[in-house]
């Protein structure tokens, strides 16, 4: 459901994947990124790669936002030849994280409560109080990604 909703921003996600892969493959680039993060008084965050079998790995990959300025500076300093994100795409990533983080929290809390197992009931607001809170939070208006994920959650719960 989440992966289907994320298809609306495939081009942007592919650029982020390319950036993350670039830093994972280049020791020089990774060291420069760490150095830049230190110089900017930022925590040294390791960029995480997306995994097709775990939807929340996309959310973790999108945490590049936390090092946005350091990443942009590092890519410019080392003259990396990768597709850069424009301001609109950075903003879309922020919106995506805003939508996905409550879902991730809700599932995590439900899994803790259910002994660590994630099952179909995790998204049922009658079973999980965390999902009820999530659905309340999602009553606000949102962009196309927000609406697609909300629709996917509603369809999943009606199964």
| Whether the predicted model's global pTM rises above the 0.85 cut | no
Q: d(Cα 145, Cα 46) in Å, to the nearest integer?
A: 26
pLDDT by residue (tens digit) across 47-77?
Answer: 888 887 776 788 888 888 888 999 999 999 9
pLDDT by residue (tens digit) across 5-29?
Answer: 677 788 988 999 999 999 999 999 9
Sequence-ordered list of residues with C-beta below 8 angstroms from that of 119, at least 6 positions apart, any chain: none
Residue 82: phi and psi, rounded to 5, are: -130, 160
Burial class (CB in 10 A: 0-12, 13-18, 19+), 105: middle
């Amino acid at each position: 459901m989440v992966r289907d909703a994320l298809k609306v921003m495939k081009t942007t996600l592919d650029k982020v994947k390319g950036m993350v892969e670039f830093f994972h493959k280049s020791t020089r680039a990774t060291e420069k990124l760490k150095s830049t993060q230190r110089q900017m008084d930022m925590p040294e965050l390791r960029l995480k790669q997306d995994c097709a079998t775990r939807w929340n790995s996309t959310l973790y990959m999108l945490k590049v936002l936390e090092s946005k300025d350091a990443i942009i500076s590092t890519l410019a300093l080392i003259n990396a030849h990768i597709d850069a994100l424009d301001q609109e795409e950075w903003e879309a990533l922020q919106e995506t994280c805003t939508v996905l983080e409550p879902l991730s929290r809700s599932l995590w809390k439900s899994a803790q409560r259910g002994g660590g197992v994630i099952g179909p009931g995790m998204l049922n607001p009658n079973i999980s109080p965390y999902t009820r809170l999530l659905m309340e939070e999602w009553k606000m208006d949102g962009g196309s990604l927000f609406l697609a994920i909300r629709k996917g959650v509603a369809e999943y719960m009606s199964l």
